[in-house]
């Protein structure tokens, strides 16, 4: 069986990208990272990708007259590298319906809360401010909304009485690094079936 080609979109340091690469290197994930794209020229993820010999490209929003043209440029590169699954790993832009429809059912995202609780930015801050006792992370398929797509996997992380945004973030990130490669493996094994809002693992 041929390897599933991943296209990773990230805006920051790329720790989830590294976790995915580690799983591939360990033989736990039958996939290949074909391309890494960032919308930030100084994003560390580009350095990490290049160090691993992975094609790494910066596509910045300011270089395009419209959001659709920006997304079309990203889509063009993903297609050029024959990407099967688009993996959002800290990509800090909301994708439009235009882009989502181009890769329908083949875009995955990870969010640092138990969705539908605390969507959007500053999820850890939201959870602590709300007084929640549990947070965690969610891996979901991307639809046209913000963090609203069908949920693939979730794992809970307790919020401790003395937690700060930093300490909670660190513990949830450790879970993200384990869970994201697992969800991608299920996709590669064609074991994810989307039925409306439900994702069934078969």
Q: Is 92 annotated as a binding residue?
A: yes
Q: Closest Cα partner for 176 from 1, 64, 18, 35?
A: 18
CB 11 within 8 A of CB 89: no
Q: Is 42 annotated as a binding residue?
A: no
Q: Is 14 annotated as a binding residue?
A: yes
Q: Is 172 annotated as a binding residue?
A: no
Positions marked catalytic: 111
Q: Is 93 annotated as a binding residue?
A: yes
Q: Is 94 annotated as a binding residue?
A: yes
Q: Which residues contact 58 (CB under 8 A, 6 or more apart)?
A: 37, 38, 39, 40, 41, 43, 46
Residue numbering of the annotated binding site for (6R)-10-formyltetrahydrofolate: 67, 92-95, 109
């Amino acid at each position: 069986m041929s390897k599933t080609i991943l296209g990773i979109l990230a805006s920051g340091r790329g720790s989830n990208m590294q976790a995915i690469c580690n799983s591939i290197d360990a033989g736990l994930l039958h996939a290949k990272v074909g391309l890494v794209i960032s919308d930030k020229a100084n994003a560390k993820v580009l350095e990490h990708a290049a160090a691993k010999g992975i094609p790494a490209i910066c596509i910045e929003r300011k270089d395009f007259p419209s959001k659709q043209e920006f997304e079309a440029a990203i889509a063009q590169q993903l297609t050029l590298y024959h990407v099967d699954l688009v993996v959002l790993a800290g990509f800090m832009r909301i994708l439009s319906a235009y882009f989502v429809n181009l890769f329908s059912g083949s875009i995955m995202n990870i969010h640092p809360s138990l969705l539908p609780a605390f969507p959007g930015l500053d999820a850890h801050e939201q959870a602590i401010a709300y007084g929640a006792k549990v947070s965690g992370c969610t891996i979901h398929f991307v639809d046209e909304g913000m963090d609203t797509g069908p949920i693939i996997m979730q794992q809970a992380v307790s919020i401790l009485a003395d937690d700060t945004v930093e300490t909670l973030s660190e513990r949830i990130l450790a879970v993200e690094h384990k869970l994201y490669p697992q969800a991608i493996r299920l996709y590669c094994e064609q074991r994810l079936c989307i039925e409306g809002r439900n994702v069934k693992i078969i």
